[in-house]
């Protein structure tokens, strides 16, 4: 029997399961949650805006976030072959150039859906989509430097969905408080994104990707990740106190304190505890986001 006869035959067309795996539904939660926070912070949603909000949730999660995952996996397929060879593209479950095709199709569909939600949402979606491509694709490939890449992700995953949702709920550009809070939680997401980089330090080093753990070293990057999440939350606490939302400020402060208490355990073993701290810290972080959204609504 020849080698050609014994080699496994890979499908020429990906299965629906492979497409779903490429879009990574587990990653949709952060922008969808930020979108929900934005809708809440806008206040009472009128009956004629509910459809826009529901369509916006679809836009934030499966469409824009799903697109960013497809784009990232396509342009990271060589790095993934080292770090995570079981991923859908290097494993062969997404053959040929199908990964790129899915990314392009989802990009077009995202903008089509955004066009039904008004100019503010359309522009926000266009910015988010541009950042998604710039993050992974040459010539920009922002992810080659952790400062640029993680900042772009934080802005796309937290700030833009929050502002977009408020605009969809209100039918107009939201007020200054919403912009400030959305910016601060997007800034804190820089730390969240840094936590995701510890697992790929080996491959990033070999492929010349200057993630923050690669640049700083694991221990310093762990401290930075934790503090990058905690400090913006403390600014939020100060603003809530200034705006006379004392109970909400106390709740958000307690959640930030819990993250600070857990931080030394991450610093002691960054690679081993990054996933643990991400699950704990991010859970507390997003809880504070919703508390803040309810506090600032009109």
Asked, for residue 24, whether it belongs to a domain, the answer is: yes
Residue 1 pLDDT > 80: no
Asked, for residue 8, whether it belongs to a domain, the answer is: no
- Helix/strand/coil for 145: strand
Dihedral (C-alpha) 228, 188, 211, 30: value to the nearest 10 degrees?
140
Give per-residue pLDDT as tens, 209-241.
Answer: 899 999 999 999 999 999 999 999 999 999 999
Per the structure, the count of domains in the chain is 1
Asked, for residue 2, whether it belongs to a domain, the answer is: no
Q: What is the pLDDT of residue 175?
A: 82
Asked, for residue 108, whether it belongs to a domain, the answer is: yes
Decide: residue 38, CB within 10 A, 0-12 exposed, 13-18 middle, 19+ buried. Answer: buried
Residue 6 pLDDT > 60: no
Asked, for residue 83, whether it belongs to a domain, the answer is: yes
Give per-residue pLDDT as tens, 37-93.
Answer: 999 998 877 677 788 888 989 999 999 999 999 999 999 898 788 778 889 999 999
Which percentage of the chain shows pLDDT scores above 90? 68
Which percentage of the chain shows pLDDT scores above 70? 96
The region of weakest confidence among 4-18, 36-50, 166-180 is 4-18
174 or 222, greater pLDDT: 222
Q: Would the pTM of this model clear 0.95, i.e. be above it?
A: no
The whole domain housing 25 covers: 14-296
CB atoms within 10 A of CB 125: 24
Q: Please, which pLDDT band fits residue 8 given cuts at 50, 70 and 90?
A: very low
- Helix/strand/coil for 210: strand
Q: Please, which pLDDT band fits residue 169 given cuts at 50, 70 and 90?
A: confident
Q: How confident is the model over 91-113, as a mean pLDDT? A: 94
Q: What is the C-alpha end-to-end distance of the chain, expressed in Å?
A: 74
Residue 267 pLDDT > 80: yes
Decide: residue 249, CB within 10 A, 0-12 exposed, 13-18 middle, 19+ buried. Answer: buried
Distance CA 228, CA 154 (A): 11
Distance CA 23, CA 69 (A): 6
């Amino acid at each position: 029997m020849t080698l050609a006869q014994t080699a496994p035959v890979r499908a020429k067309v990906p299965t629906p399961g492979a497409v779903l795996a490429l879009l990574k539904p587990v990653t949709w939660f952060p922008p969808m949650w930020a979108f929900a926070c934005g809708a809440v912070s806008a206040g009472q949603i009128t009956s004629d805006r509910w459809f826009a909000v529901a369509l916006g949730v679809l836009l934030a999660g499966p469409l824009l976030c799903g697109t960013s995952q497809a784009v990232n996996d396509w342009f990271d397929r060589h790095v993934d072959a080292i770090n995570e060879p079981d991923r859908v593209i290097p494993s062969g479950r997404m053959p040929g150039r199908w990964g790129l095709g899915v990314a392009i199709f989802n990009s077009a569909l995202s903008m089509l859906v955004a066009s039904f939600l008004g100019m503010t949402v359309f522009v926000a979606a266009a910015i988010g989509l541009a950042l998604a491509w710039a993050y992974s694709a040459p010539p920009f490939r922002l992810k080659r430097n952790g400062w640029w890449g993680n900042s772009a992700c934080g802005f796309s995953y937290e700030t833009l969905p929050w502002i977009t949702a408020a605009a969809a709920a209100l039918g107009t550009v939201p007020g200054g408080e919403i912009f400030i809070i959305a910016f601060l939680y997007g800034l804190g997401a820089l730390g969240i994104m840094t936590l995701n980089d510890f697992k790929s330090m080996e491959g990033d080093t070999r492929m010349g990707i200057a993630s923050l753990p690669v640049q700083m070293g694991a221990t310093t990057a762990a401290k930075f990740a934790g503090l990058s999440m905690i400090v913006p939350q403390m600014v939020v606490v100060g603003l809530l106190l200034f705006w006379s939302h004392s109970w909400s400020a106390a709740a958000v402060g307690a959640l930030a304190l819990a993250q600070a208490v857990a931080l030394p355990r991450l610093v002691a073993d960054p690679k081993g505890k990054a996933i643990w701290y991400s699950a704990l810290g991010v859970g507390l972080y997003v809880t504070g986001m919703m508390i803040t959204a309810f506090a600032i609504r009109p």
